[in-house]
Amino acid sequence: MEWLEGIGLHTGAPSRVGLHRSAGPVRLRSAGVEACIDELEVVSTARATTVQARGGGLRVGTVEHVFAALAGLGLYEGVTLDVDGPEMPLLDGGATAWCAAFQRLDLAPSAARLRVTRAASFDVGPSHYELTPTDGVIGVTARIDFDDARLAPEASWTGDAADFVARIAPARTFALAREIDELARRGLARHVDPACVVVITPDAILHAGRPFTPDEPARHKLLDLLGDLYLRGGPPVGRVLAVRPGHAANARFLQRAVEDGVLAPYSG
Give the residue numbers marked as catalytic.
Answer: 247
Count CA within 13 A, CB hemisphere, residue 165: 13
8 Å CB contact between 80 and 26:
yes
Q: Strand pairing of 127-132 and 238-243?
A: antiparallel
CB within 8 Å of 72: residues ≥ 6 apart: 95, 99, 157, 161, 164, 165, 168, 169, 226
Question: What is the C-alpha separation between 87 and 9, in angstroms, rounded?
Answer: 9
> What are the backbone angles phi and psi of residue 72, rounded to the nearest 5°?
-65, -30
Backbone φ/ψ region at 24: left (φ over 0), alpha (ψ -120 to 50), beta: left
The CA distance from 201 to 232, in Å, is: 34
Grouping H, G, I as helix, E, B as strand and the rest as coil, residue 229 is: helix
Three-state SS at 55: helix
